[in-house]
């Protein structure tokens, strides 16, 4: 059987390495498929998707409307949920935040991220945004380079230890507006691949996720090695928050949440 090699991009964050570990490390049978794996920050993956560089990739839902001409959204492998949204943080409370926002420098984890989309929805008058890698945002706020910042990933679990305070949960804002889960990130595959191959990828991602779930709370070396200095307790909190039933299948309410985000995106960019 001839092998077919596909480029596959996802982040080194525990939720992604947890989902894809068994697939990319041959712990499950991937048949004729082999993968060239690229791990990078999700905003880098977003930019690559805009350029059509990878066959399959994790992306922010915030970039999805701009790439649907070239990519198809897979049903498996994504991150949606309630209580999982980005947080707006600062060194101290900011009274009358909505009226102050136009005057504040706000650190954002990438222009094409869902975090930027949700922040723009909550604060359309924000005029001074500083785009940077998500892991630099806490330090930017602490050093005064930014007045406030939008944090994602494991920073949700560490900002209070650094003396930072929450100004708003942007996920709560979305849930109050829509009543649905927050679409954070999904897996896309180039439309040039036929539907049979897309469905095969959905099946393989689900099998890889089930392999990880069957062994949880044990964490594989693959998850640990890419989590840098994060301790295992934070890794598990990260996985518990971002990996759930929606990671196996969007389901009807997950698809509805994605459709709602697409509609809101069009309104914001009308």
Task: Copy the structure tokens of residue 133.
Answer: 């890698």
CB atoms within 10 A of CB 37: 13
Q: End-to-end distance of the chain based on CA atoms, in angstroms?
A: 49
153 is catalytic: yes
Q: Which of 112, 116, 153, 238 is catalytic?
A: 153
Dihedral angle computed from the Cα positions of residues 112, 115, 117 and 119, in that order, rounded to the nearest 10 degrees: -140
- Rounded Cα–Cα distance for residues 162 and 93 (Å): 15
Q: Which residues pair with 187 in a beta bridge?
A: 58
Residue whose C-alpha is closest to residue 56's, from 207, 186, 187: 187
CA angle 92, 97, 99 (to 5 degrees): 145
- Taken in order 181, 186, 192, 196, the sign of the CA dihedral is negative
Catalytic residues: 153
């Amino acid at each position: 059987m001839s092998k077919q090699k596909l480029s596959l991009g996802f982040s080194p964050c525990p939720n992604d390495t947890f989902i894809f570990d068994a697939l990319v490390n041959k712990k499950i049978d991937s048949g004729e498929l082999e993968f060239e794996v690229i791990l990078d920050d999700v905003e880098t993956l977003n930019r690559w998707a805009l350029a059509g560089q990878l066959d399959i990739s994790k992306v922010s839902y915030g970039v999805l409307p701009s790439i649907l001409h070239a990519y198809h959204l897979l049903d498996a492998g994504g991150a949606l949920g309630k209580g999982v949204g980005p947080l707006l943080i600062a060194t101290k409370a900011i009274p009358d935040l909505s009226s102050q926002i136009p005057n504040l420098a706000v650190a954002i984890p990438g222009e094409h991220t869902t975090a930027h989309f949700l922040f723009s929805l909550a604060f359309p008058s924000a005029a001074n945004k500083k785009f940077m890698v998500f892991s630099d945002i806490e330090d930017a706020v602490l050093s005064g380079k930014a007045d406030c910042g939008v944090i994602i990933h494991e920073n949700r679990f560490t900002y209070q230890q650094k003396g930072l305070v929450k100004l708003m949960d942007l996920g709560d804002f979305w849930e109050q507006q829509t009543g649905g889960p927050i679409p954070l990130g999904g897996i896309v595959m180039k439309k040039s691949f036929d539907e049979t191959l897309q469905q095969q990828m959905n099946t393989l991602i689900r099998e890889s996720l089930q392999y990880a779930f069957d062994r949880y709370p044990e964490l594989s070396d693959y998850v640990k090695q890419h989590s840098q200095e994060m301790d295992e307790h934070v890794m598990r909190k990260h996985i518990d928050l971002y990996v759930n039933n929606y990671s196996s299948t969007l389901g009807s309410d997950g698809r509805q949440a994605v459709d709602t985000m697409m509609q809101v995106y069009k309104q914001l960019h009308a």
